[in-house]
Amino acid sequence: MKKLIVGILMVMVMVVGMVGVVGATDVGGIIDVDTTWDLAGSPYILVEPVEIAPGIILMIEPGVEVRSIESGGDYKLRNYISIYDNAQLNILGQPHNKIHFNYVNIYVYDGSVSGGPRLYIEFTNFHQCSINGCILNLTDCVFTKDIDDLHLTSIVLKSFNDGSDWEIDEDSYVERNIFNQPEQVAFSTHYYAGNFYITNNVFYKTWVHGDVFPNVIIRHNSFLEITMMNTIFVENNWWGTIDTNIIDEMIIDRNDSLQYGYYTDYIPFLIESHPNTPYFDPNIYYDLIVNTTDGGVVDPTGGNYLEGTIVTVTAISDSGWNFQEWTGDYIGTENPIDIIMDSNKTIQAVFVYHTAPIVPPNSNSGGGGCFISVTY
């Protein structure tokens, strides 16, 4: 029997408007050679869908931002990155240098030729994005809800044998991620060999739909203010309380109605958050990145801010330079400016050479004067 061990993650959220970014790299079309998106070309703007051809690797380096140019209200209208056959997408940030995805969809299609596509994601922040496909590794990431609550996140995690003509003999891991206020999170699997690990994640204010197969290992997670349905094996997790009456109220199973086929087994449970589960603050934080052209500096240069924080950013020109304008997620000539942190934002201060007129002293000879403009 063919074997398939993958995870499928789907995140659906609303899209908001965008503005152009000076110095960005426009991307789109088919990638048919191994490619790296490095920090020097960031942010990368999807002006049309990006397709990774079979056998090709797209590597996205730490610190890079990827965003879509689309601004439609339907998440399906956004541009996307798609992976086919044995192509590979590596989105590998670092603990203190994360990758940022904004308003981008990712689709991973089941392979049918010479091998399965592979998607590896580490230390990446997703804001209003969707991911749908075969995930082998999803670790240390943060998913934030739609800030306007117009269309909340929906997440589906799967690991199964779907009858494809290719085989993956790897376990699948979803570990140490934070799912902050999604609409629902669903775990699902069918017949396969191996394990699908859902461990040390935080699920906050969400519906959790589970599975009935013991090959899906759901342990050491923090289930905080959630509602769980149709899940059997959830021992050794933290529920935010040790009161079994409160835990029972979070669970919908055959004890509540005979229409549900299973009883949820959550005992033994943890009496506190597992030490390997990430610290969770229910507040939402966004990253501000402030870049400059030559000729000056900015204060501050960026940071991570609580949702709703107003950050005052000042452009300071070097001697012989003038501040000209802001570009990116703020357009204007004011200085300083106030940035409201309601999403991840990147702005840039543009400086230009100072120009000044040079007028020679008045002459009593009656000759005509001259006017010279010099740029230095």
- At 261-314, the pLDDT tens digits run 889 999 999 999 999 999 888 877 888 999 999 999 999 999 999 888 999 999
Mean pLDDT confidence for 203-207: 86
What global pTM score does this model have?
A: 0.64
* Same-domain pairing of 181 and 291: no
Mean pLDDT confidence for 358-366: 53
* Same-domain pairing of 15 and 147: yes
Per mean pLDDT, which of 13-27, 75-89, 231-245 is the most reliable? 231-245
User: Residue 188: what pLDDT?
Assistant: 60
**% of the chain at pLDDT higher than 70:** 71
* Average model confidence (pLDDT) across the chain: 77
| CA–CA distances in Å: residue 166 to residues 5, 169, 170, 358 | 11, 10, 13, 74
CA 335 to chain centre: 30
* Same-domain pairing of 189 and 307: no
**Confidence band of 170 (pLDDT split at 50, 70, 90):** low
Residue 267 lies in a domain: no
CA separation for the pair 114, 8 (Å, rounded): 20
* Same-domain pairing of 43 and 141: yes
User: Residue 357: what pLDDT?
Assistant: 55
Instruction: Show the domain range for 105.
Output: 7-196
Q: Is the pLDDT of residue 40 over 80?
A: yes
Q: Is the pLDDT of residue 339 over 90?
A: yes
Residue 76 lies in a domain: yes
355 or 324: which carries more pLDDT confidence? 324
**pLDDT, tens digit (0-9, with 9 covering 90-100), for 180-196:** 876 777 666 554 556 77
Residue 181 lies in a domain: yes
119 or 90: which carries more pLDDT confidence? 90
* Same-domain pairing of 173 and 29: yes
Residue 126 lies in a domain: yes
Residue 269 lies in a domain: no
Q: Is the pLDDT of residue 325 over 80?
A: yes
* Same-domain pairing of 179 and 295: no
Residue 235 lies in a domain: no
Residue 48, class by beta-carbon neighbours within 10 Å (0-12 exposed, 13-18 middle, 19+ buried)? middle
* Same-domain pairing of 298 and 192: no
User: Residue 139: what pLDDT?
Assistant: 80
By the 8 A CB rule, do 28 and 49 touch? Answer: yes
69: nearest Cα among 35, 124, 25: 25
CA 206 to chain centre: 19
**Confidence band of 205 (pLDDT split at 50, 70, 90):** confident
Residue 238 lies in a domain: no
Domain count, the chain: 2
**Confidence band of 117 (pLDDT split at 50, 70, 90):** confident
* Same-domain pairing of 186 and 293: no
* Same-domain pairing of 165 and 299: no
* Same-domain pairing of 52 and 160: yes
DSSP states of 230-246 as a string? Answer: S--B--S-B-S-S-HHH
Last residue of a domain, one of 196, 222, 242: 196
Q: Which residue is it, tokens 């309380």?
A: 241
User: Residue 116: what pLDDT?
Assistant: 66
Q: Is the pLDDT of residue 330 over 70?
A: yes
Residue 234 lies in a domain: no
